[in-house]
Amino acid sequence: MCGIVAYIGPKPALPIVISGLKRLESRGYDSAGVAIIESNGNNPDTLVLRKIKGKVSNLIEHIGEEELKGTVAIGHTRWATHGPPNDINAHPHRASSDRIALIHNGIIENYSTIKKTLHNRGHALLSDTDSEVLVHLIEEVMISGKMSLGNAVRVALKQVTGAYAIVIIDRENPTTLIAARKSSPLVIGLGEDGAYYVASDATPIIPYTKNVVYLNDEEIATLDLDKGLKIRTVSNKTVIPEIQALEIEIESIEKGGYDHFMLKEIFEQPKSIRDSLRGRIDLKKGEVRMSGVDDHWDKWNNASRIIILACGTSWHAGLVAEYLFEEFARIPVEVEYASEFRYRNPIIRKDDLVIAISQSGETADSLAAIKTAKDAGAHVFGVCNVVGSSISRESHSGAYTRAGPEIGVASTKAFTSQIAVLTMIALHVGVKKGKLPRERFLRLISELNGIPELVTKVLKQAELIDSIAAEFTESINALYLGRGYQFPVALEGALKLKEISYIHAEGYPAAEMKHGPIALIDEKLPVVFIAPKDDVYEKVLSNIQEVKARGGRLVVVVTEGDKEAASLADYVIEVPRCDASLAPLLTSIPLQLLSYKIAVLRGCNVDQPRNLAKSVTVE
Ligand code: AGP
């Protein structure tokens, strides 16, 4: 995943592009660069590139006091896919004639074939990247075909297989930007002063305008200060731009006084869950409103199976949904890692209903898995957090999680918002299919509606959790155990810890301990049990006793007032009592805080953990 920003308009371009790159750094941060067209009075304009390995801060230092003037620029912050992070592989890339420069997010799958052809035509490519091939191909087509840049981009992209979000500037046409996308996101902002902004998502655009156009796959936009915005497809069809008004505010992407975006997002969960529920639970009428479900009710009513496709934390939300749909709607559910599903030649039936879960809506494996399911005739329902994202637009129907921008690489509020939305859908489908008794439905939607206030209560234990975290900063392993609805929470707690503190952690069904992991137990190993009062509580209690008998260091998340489990624990965290099906919305919070604090105490980069990016748009 990389971050792309571009500007063309009346103002100096560099500061706009640089501040935009900072807002996108969570998408990739192993190298960064800018290209700007400098006007030189009566002499030809010059195309200036500055790029370097490392973060945007390195780029800023590298540019230093140099006065890079110019009102059209492109910028890029990279997460390496082809070629190691270094200055040469950093974007932008220019072609041989030094006339055009390009930034790219995605993967050009046939780049080595194209590279050979370009070599044979005398192009000297300097980097190991697939992106540089693209800029040389465009130049080759433009010069040999005597075409405009816009047409050359279109003809060149017809030769390309793979994913791209690109922006190109042309020294000989300094009033024009060209942008195009396929399977990687690109948003265009329309400034009141006639300026145009292009970015991988809306966050760099928000400070300047709320009017945006989301480019769709295989669309090429020409942003011309004189002629305006024009969009054509790679197959040369005209597209009328659909201007949308952005609803996210600039402050929503600042840290808001917290040390890290992740902590801000953990504490935003009462609000983000409330926003996910808003307008969808009607206690007066006793109903859940989910138009994305009702508009395709036949697909849900006739579904013989639900297949859930996701990755990472979203996959854990999918596991919670498996328990929800099987309990309330009595529909068999299979939860699949999208990366496995897409290559396994899966059996997909026309009456399968697929739920795709993705915070970013851009995860390459999830997007590809959806296409596999759609090709087989399944109905795809998307649960995404980013409006206008590829997965949301690839799905037949869906529901947004409305958690707001999630900047921290470790997903927190998106996870609980995914669960809130999936819970509403499972309850709605269950009662509508007559599988869930109405009086239980009414009780559950009322309790769900009250969850944000209970989350606020859980967050009040942050200091206690900080003190527990201090006990485990030197740990090298950890075990997370839970049963039933708490098994996915155990997996999620373990993922949180390992991805931001770099401590190895494993989540397991508590009963599985006897089948191997119990050999790991010793006085050094932290064992986190999630043990709220539910139907399997007594069984979990026995598992806790087994660990205690072997000297494990026990952190136990219990229902408030539960003295029995607490008496066995070294450290106790209480959560308010609630229905077992809603408990993941509460029990996952302490595990987020625990991993956050351990990571901070270990001096880890919490918002941008090593090797990770916020959205994995490459395989
Ligand atoms: C979550 O903490 C991780 N950063 C990661 O596993 C993430 O959930 C996964 O990459 C899926 O992303 P998506 O929800 O945007 O598809």
Q: Residues 294-307: pLDDT tens digits? A: 999 999 999 999 99
CA distances from 11 to 72, 157, 175, 196 (A): 9, 31, 13, 11
Please state, rounded to an integer, the average pLDDT across all residues of the chain. Answer: 94
- 582 Cα to the center of ligand 1, angstroms: 22
Q: Which two tokens stand for residue 257?
A: 């006084």
Q: How far is 295 from 452, CA to CA, in rounded Å? A: 28
Q: Is the CB of 390 under 6 A from ligand 1?
A: no
Give the model's confidence band at 569: pLDDT under 50 very low, under 70 low, under 90 confident, else very high: very high
pTM for the model: 0.75
Quick one: pLDDT at residue 115? 94
Q: How far is 58 from 51, CA to CA, in rounded Å? A: 9
Give the model's confidence band at 109: pLDDT under 50 very low, under 70 low, under 90 confident, else very high: confident
pLDDT tens digit string along 302-345?
999 999 999 999 999 999 999 999 999 999 999 999 999 999 99
Quick one: pLDDT at residue 1? 64
Q: Is the CB of 392 under 6 A from ligand 1?
A: no
Using an 8 Å Cβ cutoff, are 373 and 380 in contact? yes
Strand arrangement of the beta sheet that strand 219-224 belongs to: 93-94, 100-108, 162-170, 176-182, 219-224, 228-233, 238-239
Quick one: pLDDT at residue 2? 83
363, 604, 614, 617: residue to mutate for ligand 1 pocket, most atoms within 8 A of CB: 363
Using an 8 Å Cβ cutoff, are 177 and 80 in contact? no
Q: How many CB atoms lie within 10 A of CB 573?
A: 24
315, 359, 614: residue to mutate for ligand 1 pocket, most atoms within 8 A of CB: 359
Tell which atom from ligand 1 comes closest to the C-alpha of 366: 16
Q: Which two tokens stand for residue 216?
A: 């769709």
Percent of the chain with pLDDT over 70: 99
Give the model's confidence band at 616: pLDDT under 50 very low, under 70 low, under 90 confident, else very high: confident
Quick one: pLDDT at residue 254? 63
Residue 29 pLDDT more than 80?
no
Q: How far is 115 from 100, CA to CA, in rounded Å? A: 18
Residue 247 pLDDT more than 90?
no
pLDDT tens digit string along 427-456?
999 999 999 999 999 999 999 999 999 999
Residue 199 pLDDT more than 80?
yes
Quick one: pLDDT at residue 275? 86
Quick one: pLDDT at residue 250? 67
One-letter amino acid of 553: R
- 575 Cα to the center of ligand 1, angstroms: 26
Q: What is the mean pLDDT of residues 129-144?
A: 94
Using an 8 Å Cβ cutoff, are 529 and 540 in contact? yes
Q: How many CB atoms lie within 10 A of CB 470?
A: 11
Residue 223 pLDDT more than 90?
yes
Lowest mean pLDDT among 78-87, 342-351, 430-439: 78-87
Q: Which two tokens stand for residue 52?
A: 């370097």
Give the model's confidence band at 253: pLDDT under 50 very low, under 70 low, under 90 confident, else very high: low
Residue 288 pLDDT more than 90?
yes
- 612 Cα to the center of ligand 1, angstroms: 10
SS3 94: strand
Say which residue, 25 or 473, is predicted with more confidence: 473
Residue 161 pLDDT more than 70?
yes
Report the half-sphere exposure of 498 (CA within 13 A, side-chain side): 16
pLDDT tens digit string along 32-67?
999 999 988 778 899 999 999 999 999 999 999 988
Ramachandran angles phi, psi of 138, nearest 5°: -60, -45
Which three-class secondary structure string do you get for 191-230?
CCCCCEEEECCCCCCCCCCCEEEECCCCEEEEEECCCEEE
Q: What is the DSSP string of 458-494?
A: HHTTHHHHHHHHGGGTT-SEEEEEE-TTHHHHHHHHH
Q: How far is 426 from 441, CA to CA, in rounded Å? A: 10
Q: What is the mean pLDDT of residues 151-168?
A: 94
Quick one: pLDDT at residue 558? 98
Q: What is the mean pLDDT of residues 348-372?
A: 95
Using an 8 Å Cβ cutoff, are 584 and 72 in contact? no
Give the model's confidence band at 251: pLDDT under 50 very low, under 70 low, under 90 confident, else very high: low
Q: Which two tokens stand for residue 164?
A: 């791209």
Q: Which residues is 53 bridged to in the sheet?
A: 31
Using an 8 Å Cβ cutoff, are 616 and 499 in contact? no
Q: How far is 548 from 40, CA to CA, in rounded Å? A: 75
Q: What is the mean pLDDT of residues 214-232?
A: 96
Nearest 10 degrees: Cα torsion 118, 123, 127, 128: 20
Quick one: pLDDT at residue 21? 96
- 496 Cα to the center of ligand 1, angstroms: 11
Judge whether 384 counts as a catalytic residue.
Answer: no
Judge whether 614 counts as a catalytic residue.
Answer: yes
